[in-house]
Amino acid sequence: MSMNSTPNGERFRIGIFGCVNSGKSSLINALTGQDIAMVSDVRGTTTDPVSKAMEMLPIGPVLITDTPGLDDESELAERRIERTMEVLSITDLAILVVDANRGLCKRDEEIISLFKKEKCPYLTVFNKTDLTKEDSPNRESLKSLKAGTGSFDQRLGADDAALENTKETLYVSALLGDGIDELKRAIASFDLQEDPAYPIVADFVSENDTVVLVVPIDDAAPKGRLILPQQQTIRELIEAGAFAVTVRDTHLEDLMQQFEKTQITPSLVVTDSQAFAKVAQIVPSDMRLTSFSILMARHKGILKASMEGIKAIKGLKDGDRVMISEGCTHRRMCGDIGTVKIPRALKKINGSTLEYVFSSGGSFGSIDDLKKVSCVIHCGGCMLSEKEMKRRYKLCERAGVPITNYGLVLAAAGGILDRSIDFIPYE
Ligand SMILES: Nc1nc2c(ncn2[C@@H]2O[C@H](COP(=O)(O)OP(=O)(O)OP(=O)(O)O)[C@@H](O)[C@H]2O)c(=O)[nH]1
Ligand SMILES: [Mg+2]
């Protein structure tokens, strides 16, 4: 795979923030070993956020965003804060660049408070450690300062409370390249994998339970394998000591008859959303039934927002625009579901005549694009990373647009949403 074939959605996103002239653009150039960002001693050289996709060893594919410096004299304008927050909302790791000669100023502390507000992890980097000006108040400490990590925060004017949530504090010279390898290592060692919000099924399935998994084998199914949510569910069931019985929708009725004969009562049936209505008719109404998409949404921590999205669908009016989003980058795996079945399901839930816009692959749209629609219906995102899925939900939250997923819409249209969710703990 060539380095530019990684979609931006899958890249690790690093945002560089700080006061004007602290050396943000210089730091990007030092990290990438290229003259990507414009550097100058004119304050306010970078005027708009600029993103660049690249391969940064040993980190891998990253999207690095240079932001305009925040001025420390004037009041932090509302629009500036908003723009910083917009970049932060899609940033995996923020880097605060501080001019080591000046130390941490009030503006830096305000930037840190924005990181905290956005719950964005960050590294604090004191730059320009090569400068030991005669009149620098930090001259003595800077003299003894070695590039790399350290604990000179106090002497550099940092206040402990302000730096409390920082992952690490580093000292570099973007000009000389000192400490840059250490910074790269700190970025690389940053743990990308967040803990999942919930297990898939393990918290409400017990040892020796029989669980039926309904997996249609049709055009939408990839050749020769199961999709990730199916694999992960089976894995969790095996780990829990439960019996995972996997069956095609076409053979579910036969299986249920076998169970009845042998007096086995499955404790749960999990189906692919596309077969939801059909499966709901076969599975007795007192038997727990849900879908992979509901379980995966909970696992990723986006079930609550998705349920709110369903509520919002009921309030849509004639002419409202709905965005249908699919994550597939190459071949469309979901067939006509987005173009035919979802619009049909929405009509059933809501009755209004809605307008549709579509997005697919890595292009999900900006906050401004999202503000133009009344609701987003996303596919299960089996081709997207969990990080990207969460980012999309976060973008919608920021744009004030409700979002939900295919599985929930199909369940709601089939009148089986309540049944599919009432035994599942989530918040
Ligand atoms: N001595 C020294 N100078 C540096 C270092 N890093 C940056 N500079 C200088 O500081 C000035 C500002 O650097 P930039 O990288 O443009 O700073 P910036 O934070 O991107 O500035 P704005 O975009 O204006 O907010 C330039 O003159 C750089 O050459 C460093 O490590 N040591
Ligand atoms: Mg700059």
The domain segmentation of the chain, as residue ranges, is: 3-189, 210-296, 302-413
**Cα-flanking dihedrals φ and ψ of residue 290, to 5°?**
-150, -175
The stretch 51-75 carries a mean pLDDT of 78
Q: Choose the weakest-confidence range: 103-112, 217-226, 410-419.
A: 217-226
pLDDT on residue 180: 93
- Rounded to an integer, what distance in angstroms lies between the CA atom of residue 18 and that of residue 112? 9
Is the pLDDT at 154 greater than 60, yes or no?
no
Q: Report whether residue 131 contacts ligand 1, using a CB cutoff of 6 Å.
A: yes
Measured over the CA atoms of residue 22, residue 25, residue 28 and residue 33, the dihedral's sign is: negative
The stretch 187-210 carries a mean pLDDT of 84
Confidence of residue 389 (pLDDT cuts 50, 70, 90): confident
- Check for a shared fold between 3-189 and 302-413: yes
3-class SS of residue 126: strand
Q: Report whether residue 71 contacts ligand 1, using a CB cutoff of 6 Å.
A: no
The stretch 311-317 carries a mean pLDDT of 95
Confidence of residue 149 (pLDDT cuts 50, 70, 90): very low
Token pair for 409: 């819409």
Nearest CA to ligand 1 atom 2: 128
Q: How far is the CA of 169 from the centre of ligand 1 (A)?
A: 19
- Rounded to an integer, what distance in angstroms lies between the CA atom of residue 26 and that of residue 10? 25
Region 210-296: CATH code? 3.40.50.11420
Q: Report whether residue 95 contacts ligand 1, using a CB cutoff of 6 Å.
A: no
pLDDT on residue 163: 47
Q: Choose the weakest-confidence range: 202-206, 330-334, 354-358.
A: 330-334
Q: How far is the CA of 275 from the centre of ligand 1 (A)?
A: 58
Q: Cα 163 to the chain's mean position, in Å? A: 25
pLDDT on residue 103: 86
Burial call 300-317: b when 16+ CB within 10 Å, e when fewer: bbbbebbbebbebbeebe
pLDDT digits (tens, 9 = 90+) for 246-305: 999 999 999 999 999 999 999 999 999 889 999 999 999 999 999 999 999 999 889 999
Q: Which residue has the higher pLDDT, 393 or 118?
A: 393
Ligand located closest to 21 CA? 1
Q: What value, to the nearest 5°, has the Cα angle with vertex 359 and ends 410 and 398?
A: 85
**% of the chain residues with pLDDT over 90:** 49
Among 16, 35, 39, 130, residue to substitute to test ligand 1 (most atoms within 8 Å of Cβ): 39
C-alpha closest to that of 13 among 121, 168, 138 = 121
Is the pLDDT at 20 greater than 70, yes or no?
yes
Residue type, 384: L
Is the pLDDT at 417 greater than 60, yes or no?
yes
CATH 1.10.760.10 for domain 3-189, yes or no, is: no
Confidence of residue 185 (pLDDT cuts 50, 70, 90): confident
Measured over the CA atoms of residue 232, residue 236, residue 239 and residue 242, the dihedral's sign is: negative
Is the pLDDT at 223 greater than 90, yes or no?
no
Global pTM value: 0.65
Confidence of residue 211 (pLDDT cuts 50, 70, 90): very high
Among 17, 20, 21, 176, residue to substitute to test ligand 1 (most atoms within 8 Å of Cβ): 21
Q: Quote the mean pLDDT of the chain.
A: 83
- Rounded to an integer, what distance in angstroms lies between the CA atom of residue 41 and that of residue 292? 55
DSSP strand E in 182-254: where? Answer: 210-214, 243-247
pLDDT on residue 387: 72
The stretch 348-377 carries a mean pLDDT of 90
Q: Report whether residue 44 contacts ligand 1, using a CB cutoff of 6 Å.
A: yes
Is the pLDDT at 144 greater than 50, yes or no?
no
For the domain made up of 302-413, the CATH class stated in words is alpha beta
Q: How far is the CA of 62 from the centre of ligand 2 (A)?
A: 19
* Residues measured by CB to lie within 5 Å of ligand 2, the ion: 24-25, 45-46
The stretch 301-312 carries a mean pLDDT of 95
